Amino acid sequence: MELTLFSAKSYDKHYFTQTLQTFNPPLCTLTTHPFALTSSTVSLARTSTAICVFVNDTLDAPVLHALHSYGVRAILLRCAGYNNIDLPLAESLGFFVANVPSYSPEAVAEFAVALIQTLNRKTHRAYNRVREGNFNLEGFLGLTLHKKTVGVVGLGRIGMSFARIMKGFGCTLLGADPFGGAEFTQELGGEYVSLEELLGRSDIVSLHCPLTEGTRHIINKESLELLKKGAMVVNTSRGGLVHTRDAVGALKDGRLGGLALDVYEEEGDLFYNDHSAEIIHDDTLMRLMTFPNVLVCGHQAFFTKEALGEIAQVTLGNLEDFLAKRSCRNSLVREGHLLVEGDKEPVRL
């Protein structure tokens, strides 16, 4: 059978090809395309039984119906987030859909800390200044993280990994999560509080929650007004958690002391591609990047050798479950190939 990867970079092809060699007998043949999955490119999957997609691929109704008509039956997300797919429709059409719920949470947590220290100690600006022979320290004054209060929004695997690192810096930890924070309080001695209290007390707020209807624009004009004046906000989770225009306003009036983003709510047409020779028409992003206390990266927090290997392994493991008609622990829908007779027409390979 054929597996088609969309939005595939050279590193995706390398790690998936390498991991496929560990399966005996061979699991599938691999076809890769650099193009994002859209209604314009969906026909590239015409000969495939399964497709593999990433965070900025589009799986809306037109794309899902087209995939179904081509005979595609498995959709493999090589990421944790799934806000880019119409899951109810995918389930009703009988697709197998699975994601990679966790891959190297330490990679993302470590990158969040790197963003904090880069923005705090201005190492990115120091690098450029020294290369020009300027060793002046003016403008580089930062803060000692020891004894600062760090708020962690989302206490899952990544949030907990981040909290452990910040505890090592000697920070006071606050945590907010609708599902509770027993591990956070018992293991790390953190304090479980409401989001409102966290915003008002934290020197640094780091976002590690998923993007849902309840968390969309969790950082907005109203929540920024609750923020401790001069606090830093870091987002390595999902771009839609931050209302960017509201953040620009808070930066202008000084309420927001620093903003570090590895994700952006309108990143779909920008990130993972080279636009250096083009005019970027996103005025909000361009305005954001004019602030000296803003740091924007291109959704690279996950990008380590260990994480890429794990993503390929788990994704192909999900495919193996589908082909073997086994229950998949990473399934995001009721699995059509496992449903009892009379419930729904089972998926057939």
79 and 99 in contact (C-beta within 8 Å)? yes
SS3 content of the chain, % helix, strand, coil (to 5): 40, 15, 45
Q: What is d(CA 287, CA 192) in angstroms, rounded to the nearest whole number?
A: 35
Pairing of strands 29-32, 294-296: unpaired
Question: Which neighbouring-strand residues pair with 174?
Answer: 151, 191
Q: Which residue, chain included where needed, has tokens 């870091």? A: 234
User: Which string of b and e fits 196-212 if b means at least 16 CB within 10 Å?
Assistant: eebbbbbbbbbbbbbbe
Out of 73, 78, 91, 267, the active site residue is 267
CA–CA gap between residue 242 and residue 235 (Å, rounded) = 8
CA angle 303, 187, 174 (to 5 degrees): 75
Edge-to-edge, what's the strand order for the sheet holding 149-153? 191-192, 172-176, 149-153, 204-207, 231-235, 256-261, 294-296
Number of Cβ atoms within 10 Å of the Cβ of 344: 13
- Cβ neighbours of 298 (radius 10 Å): 15
Name which of 56, 64, 120, 119 is nearest 94 in CA terms: 64
User: Is 341 a catalytic site residue?
Assistant: no
- Residue found by looking up tokens 């998926």 in the block: 347
- Does residue 2 have an active-site annotation? no
238, 265, 310, 335: which one is catalytic?
238
| 205 in Cβ contact with 151 (< 8 Å) | yes
Torsion region of 77: left, alpha or beta (phi above 0 gives left; psi -120 to 50 gives alpha): beta
Helix or strand or coil: residue 176?
strand
What is the C-alpha R_g of the chain? 22
Q: Which residues are catalytic?
A: 238, 267
